[in-house]
Structure 1
Amino acid sequence: MTGVIWLEFSGNMFLAGKIAMLAFIAFPFFVGMTNHILNTGESSARSLLTAGLKNFFPIILPCIMLGGMMFLMVLLLSIPLSIMGFGEDPYTLSGLMLGVSIPALIFSLYIDNVAVCEKRKIFDTLKRSMELVGLNFFGAIGYYITSALFFVAVSLFGAFLWGIILADKFTRFIGMNMTTQQETFSQFTMTDWQTLIGPEGVIVTSVIFGIVTLIIVPFLLVFKFQCYREVSDQTPVEFGEYDEKGRWYKY
């Protein structure tokens, strides 16, 4: 992400977009490795690479399936809204999106943990995640609240550090009131920011953004794994499979 920010401020928007897309695709690989370390304690390069490759699709496929289900649900629910004349109301559509996405986000909290630690199939992974969240619903809500507070705190610290280091770049704006500052900065283009902070400012921005990301992402993954471990200990995992008639057989 540090490289993406540096490329964007350097004017290489096309390359920055490609790298950002590559990082987005590779993120499940990193999540799989992290869960593998936390679950088994193995940290050798070979085991991490194997775990990342092996768990890539078990993590990403349930997420794709969940996204498809959300899209289908929004589509089906929008039909009666259109009949009632609310099909083009932005507030109604926004409420519909929130009403579908928030529960999905909450109950899919442990998808990656279940996929890596319990080796379940796609639908069973989604079902197991919902089951675990149901066992401690307020614990899942607490995770999101704590994560949001941690994200805000670290981001504010990064912004504060960025402001201290680059304070001399903004001395000409000190005499402006808050409203004037907001109006001025809202009209800034990427070129204006490049001119304002200079090459050294671009480097500082990239490094601070990278440090903030390096603090937030591992914390959220480790914290979520601990929440998963606590709630999964409340119910034993039953290993088995369904036959062609839908009957469950334990191993």
Structure 2
Amino acid sequence: MVLASLQDAFGLLRKYPAFWAAGIVAGAAFGLDLLLEFSGEVFFASKVLLLGMLLVPFFAAGAYGTAHREDRSMAVFLEEGKKGYFRVLLPGIVLFFVAMVTLFLLAIPITLILGESALAVAGSTALGVILSLAFFAYFYDVAAVTEELGVFASLQRSGAVVITRLWQVLGFYLVNLFALFALGFGVLIVWSMLVYEKLAPLAESGEAFAFDAANATATQAQFIALLGPDGAMITAVTYAVFIVLAVPFALAFKAAFYARQADGAVEAPIEGEYDEKGRWYRY
């Protein structure tokens, strides 16, 4: 099932350019965000990233809709993007606030129990909350678009798919993570080759470039100075390329897997009989 969905995903990427459009928008937003941060324009960087995050749901909904209707025309893409935009955006906002509220409620007892040591477990706690929500809500966007569901109905549908098809979903997650990790590793190798001349003096000197969480701004400034303007541009472009490749794959793989799960969800026939007056009685 998972491998067949993976094959279907590559077919969707070849047939429907809308998936690539979503990746290009996301890649441009993340790449410009990183480049502006390297340039010290943190204020504008956050605005560019926010704009990109507000545009991606439109392109994702359009991609899901064109694939579901098997029509790659621009008219269908615009129709599905417009119709499914808020169906994709609003549940994401709900999940964001749920995560924030959950972290706030967890922070109170953790701080009371651990005191000053609470900061050490804050990162792992936040990661656990985010992963838990993502695990059950991962399919909400494709469910919302293909089945025309509302905010909470799409989240409920995603959770139902995960629970009822747990082993298939776990296999899907593993393959998805492995593919994205392999892609990221390959892009990292290319980036290392492109900025080798910038990093070579540091590697040859044998000095360790340590990340200081308490002084992250100074550490980032040191890294940017080490890369130089050309290295910063290469890093931003390479990061954008990774997003351009990763987002379409993730969307297409999700759409293909969900479509197969929906096709396999055949309701069991209801058994019963009619009486002499034509009334139906269910066993």
The interval holding the TM-score normalised by the smaller chain is 0.7 to 0.9
Aligned match of 1:233: 263
1:43 pairs with 32, 54, 72, which one? 72
Alignment of 1:4 with 2:39, yes or no, is no
Aligned match of 2:152: 123
What letter matches 1:55 in structure 2?
A: G
The separation in 2 between residues aligned to 1:149 and 1:100, in whole angstroms, is 22
What letter matches 2:240 in structure 1?
A: G
Distance 1:92 1:128, change over 3 A: same
CA drift at 1:165: 1.6
The separation in 2 between residues aligned to 1:127 and 1:192, in whole angstroms, is 46
The separation in 2 between residues aligned to 1:169 and 1:206, in whole angstroms, is 15
Matches within 5 A, 1:161-240: 161-177=190-206, 180-183=207-210, 189-236=219-266
Alignment of 1:19 with 2:19, yes or no, is no
Distance 1:166 1:71, change over 3 A: closer
- Structure 1 segments unaligned to the other structure (5+ residues): 238-251
Q: Indicate conservation of the 8 Å contact 2:35/2:232, yes or no.
A: yes
Matches within 5 A, 1:139-154: 139-154=168-183
CA drift at 1:190: 4.3
**SS in structure 2 of the partner of residue 210 of structure 1:** helix
Aligned match of 2:163: 134
Aligned match of 1:245: none
1:60 pairs with 89, 93, 97, which one? 89
* Greater CA drift, 141-150 or 189-198: 189-198
The separation in 1 between residues aligned to 2:242 and 2:140, in whole angstroms, is 25
**SS in structure 2 of the partner of residue 208 of structure 1:** helix
The separation in 2 between residues aligned to 1:226 and 1:236, in whole angstroms, is 17
The separation in 2 between residues aligned to 1:164 and 1:28, in whole angstroms, is 34
**SS in structure 1 of the partner of residue 57 of structure 2:** helix
Q: Indicate conservation of the 8 Å contact 2:66/2:80, yes or no.
A: no
1:110 pairs with 139, 159, 162, which one? 139
Higher relative contact order (CA 8 A, sep 6+): 2
**SS in structure 2 of the partner of residue 151 of structure 1:** helix
The separation in 2 between residues aligned to 1:199 and 1:99, in whole angstroms, is 37
Distance 1:127 1:185, change over 3 A: closer
The separation in 2 between residues aligned to 1:234 and 1:18, in whole angstroms, is 42
What letter matches 1:6 in structure 2?
A: L
CA drift at 1:191: 4.2
The separation in 2 between residues aligned to 1:190 and 1:78, in whole angstroms, is 28
The separation in 2 between residues aligned to 1:193 and 1:77, in whole angstroms, is 34
TM-score by length of 1: 0.77
* Greater CA drift, 66-75 or 108-117: 66-75
**SS in structure 1 of the partner of residue 208 of structure 2:** helix
Alignment of 1:33 with 2:62, yes or no, is yes
CA drift at 1:149: 2.1
Distance 1:161 1:128, change over 3 A: same
- Structure 2 segments unaligned to the other structure (5+ residues): 1-29, 268-283
Aligned match of 2:186: 157
What letter matches 1:148 in structure 2?
A: L
The number of aligned residues is: 233
The separation in 1 between residues aligned to 2:247 and 2:264, in whole angstroms, is 27
The separation in 1 between residues aligned to 2:124 and 2:187, in whole angstroms, is 33
